[in-house]
């Protein structure tokens, strides 16, 4: 497709303005075809950016520059007109000043390179919950990853030509090439020139200097959470950092569950779980992001706006997530910053294979027993969701799936029980607002201090989180009796001797079963000061070895003194939001204090 064939005047004018500023050598409109994708992958093999792997099939390894390996939160900004609208948890830049700086940075930034125009849909293209975007980039790596993670195609331009709104996304690695200058495998700009910026009022994302992950794949956290969260607040829906799973009981009855966890809390593992309870089945709708709108029946319906998995490789194994490993094994994947084995495969820490030697992520020889990490801790795989062996048949249903329950959770060795049902929606919002993980002794603040990550949205909410909490309360009012039930789970409880009290992984299906039955009103519970906890006999523990009565008492008990001890930390967390914080959540905290006595 040629630029001249685009009918939408706003789109055409916007593209031309960036072409004039960036001065690329060529402009290519991406069509999402296999032919174009294969050409770009082969081009990157020739340039040294990609290594063609022997296994899995049709897959490639990429190594980034050592300074460009993860999201750069300290260089990520919300450019709202008023600083208070960005809130205390976001970095802020004045939008006019930021764009003035970009006019300098982007001037000639694509010289010697190709500008790729990526038309993409977040969600099934015909879904009323989906949104469209156009990403401009000078990175072929971004193109092939976006083709896995989103639905790329000229049909999106047809939608925009017909009048559909779109989010404007601009990205450059910030490394123009002088005449005759050789390129490098991973071009990027110095850290002080990197910017990942969001303009909520104008629905724009502009990213400069980084080629990695969420800094460059602008459909992911930038659009699907930071910009979409603003759209959701203004339009009355929800954009959440949540997996979506389908849970089926032995009678064939289905419920859909959405869950928000901070990183390193087993989110992807839960989305693709293999239940240990006979007759129960878990299928995947999505592993990371959920967009939810109200259906005609008044219930919340969710879609996964992504088309692929962009997962952290280290820690992923047949033990932790067998279905994820099976998805990857089908090929058609891109691995970034993993190690490469001597037979042309990939490897990372906690992988099931046990190689004697390999080449690490920065091209050094590595032997078994070596104290260095072979893969970068944030090494990634990008793989199509459709390949997942437990992907639900309705994962691309444009109507979405009706959500029965929300789960929140963090990594808590103490105090927090295995599972806790909120007393009502407002109490559930309080639980989400106080989501936290315990910091290690080595972390700033010391052992026992909590790192709050409300709703697992701390780095991803595109506006003031005080207003975000209000939005959750408003959604509950609108949903009324049809609102999903809310639960808080904790797979990471330990006893005083440091022993894990819960086996996790597939055994978490026992908790899901209780949640399923609570949604039906068939499972028993005990009312406590912190919420509704399972009675011991209500949790299916058949066949679970090594679970003592004392362990179970800790998992399902209320540590009143422990809860009282963390209240000052919760109060300090709430205080950060000032007068934008909803009074209702202060009331919820006061009510919990009173119940604790």
Q: Which sequence positions are flagged as catalytic?
A: 265
CA distances, 347 to each of 22, 130, 430, 520, 563 (Å):
38, 35, 41, 44, 42
Q: Which string of DSSP letters, residue by residue, matches 80-111?
A: -SSHHHH-TTSEE--HHHHHHHHHHHSTTTTT
Query: What tokens were used for 559?
Result: 């540590």
Strand partners, 346: 340
Distant-in-sequence, close-in-space partners of 238: CB < 8 Å, separation ≥ 6? 232, 290, 291, 292, 293, 300, 471, 475
Residues in the chain, overall count: 597
Is residue 406 within 8 Å of 258, Cβ to Cβ? yes
Question: What residue ranges in 356-400 does DSSP mark as E strands?
Answer: 357-359, 365-367, 380-384
Query: Which residue in this structure is represented by tokens 């999505």?
Result: 286
How far is Cα 584 from Cα 571, in angstroms, rounded to an integer?
14
Comparing C-alpha atoms, which of 32, 35, 24 is closest to residue 157? 32
Distant-in-sequence, close-in-space partners of 534: CB < 8 Å, separation ≥ 6? 418, 419, 514, 523, 524, 525, 526, 556
Cα Rg for the chain, rounded, in angstroms? 24
Give, for 61, the enclosing helix (H) or strand (E). strand 60-62
CA angle, 173 then 177 then 180, to 5°: 155
Query: Which residue in this structure is represented by tokens 């033990």?
Result: 319
Strand partners, 73: none
């Amino acid at each position: 497709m040629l630029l001249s064939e685009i009918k939408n005047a706003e789109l055409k004018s916007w593209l031309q303005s960036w072409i004039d500023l960036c001065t690329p050598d060529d402009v290519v409109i991406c069509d999402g075809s296999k032919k174009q994708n294969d050409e770009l992958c082969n081009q990157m093999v020739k340039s040294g950016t990609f290594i063609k792997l022997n296994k899995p099939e049709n897959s490639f390894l990429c190594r980034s520059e050592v300074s460009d390996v993860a999201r750069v939160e300290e260089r990520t900004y919300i450019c709202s007109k008023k600083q208070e609208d960005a809130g205390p948890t976001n970095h802020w830049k004045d939008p006019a000043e930021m764009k003035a700086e970009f006019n300098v940075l982007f001037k000639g930034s694509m010289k010697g390179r190709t500008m790729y125009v990526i038309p993409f849909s977040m969600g099934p293209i015909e879904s009323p919950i989906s949104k469209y975007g156009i990403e401009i980039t000078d990175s072929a790596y971004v193109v092939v990853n976006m083709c896995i993670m989103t639905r790329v195609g000229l049909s999106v331009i047809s939608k925009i030509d017909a009048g559909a709104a779109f989010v404007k996304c601009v990205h450059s690695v910030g490394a123009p090439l002088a005449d005759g200058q050789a390129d490098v495998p991973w071009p990027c700009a110095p850290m002080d020139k990197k910017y990942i910026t969001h303009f909520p009022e104008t629905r724009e994302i502009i990213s400069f200097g980084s080629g990695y992950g969420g800094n460059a794949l602008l459909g992911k956290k930038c659009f699907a959470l930071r910009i979409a969260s603003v759209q959701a607040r203004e339009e009355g829906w929800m954009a959440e950092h949540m997996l979506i799973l389908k849970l089926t009981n032995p009678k064939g009855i289905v419920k859909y569950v959405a869950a928000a966890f901070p990183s390193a809390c087993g989110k992807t593992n839960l989305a693709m779980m293999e239940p240990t309870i006979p007759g129960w089945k878990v299928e995947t709708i999505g592993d990371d992001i959920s967009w939810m709108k109200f259906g005609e029946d008044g219930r919340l319906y969710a879609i996964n706006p992504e088309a692929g998995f962009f997962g952290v490789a280290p820690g992923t194994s047949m033990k932790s997530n067998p279905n994820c490993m099976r998805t990857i094994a089908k090929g058609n994947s891109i691995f970034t910053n993993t190690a490469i084995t001597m037979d042309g495969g990939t490897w990372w820490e906690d992988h099931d294979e046990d190689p004697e030697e390999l080449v690490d992520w920065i091209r050094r020889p590595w032997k078994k027993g070596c104290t260095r990490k072979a893969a970068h801790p944030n090494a990634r795989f990008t793989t199509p969701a459709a390949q997942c062996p437990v992907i639900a048949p309705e994962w691309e249903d444009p109507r979405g799936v009706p959500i029965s329950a929300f789960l929140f959770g963090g990594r808590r060795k103490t105090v927090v029980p295995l599972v806790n049902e909120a007393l009502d929606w407002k109490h559930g919002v309080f639980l989400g607002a106080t989501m936290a993980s315990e910091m290690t002794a080595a972390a700033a603040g010391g052992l026992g201090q909590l790192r709050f990550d409300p709703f697992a949205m701390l780095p991803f909410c595109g506006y003031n989180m005080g207003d975000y909490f209000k939005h959750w309360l408003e959604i509950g009012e609108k949903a009324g009796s049809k609102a999903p039930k809310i639960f808080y789970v904790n797979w990471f409880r330990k006893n005083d001797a440091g022993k894990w009290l819960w086996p996790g992984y597939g055994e978490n299906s026992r908790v899901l079963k209780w949640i399923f039955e609570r949604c039906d009103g068939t499972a028993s519970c005990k009312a406590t000061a912190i919420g509704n906890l399972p009675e011991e006999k209500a949790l299916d523990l058949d066949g679970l070895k090594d679970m003592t009565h004392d362990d179970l008492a800790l998992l399902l008990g209320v540590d009143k003194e422990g809860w009282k001890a963390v209240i000052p930390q919760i109060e300090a967390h709430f205080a950060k939001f000032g007068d934008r914080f909803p009074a209702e959540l202060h009331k919820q905290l006061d009510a919990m204090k009173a119940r604790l006595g």
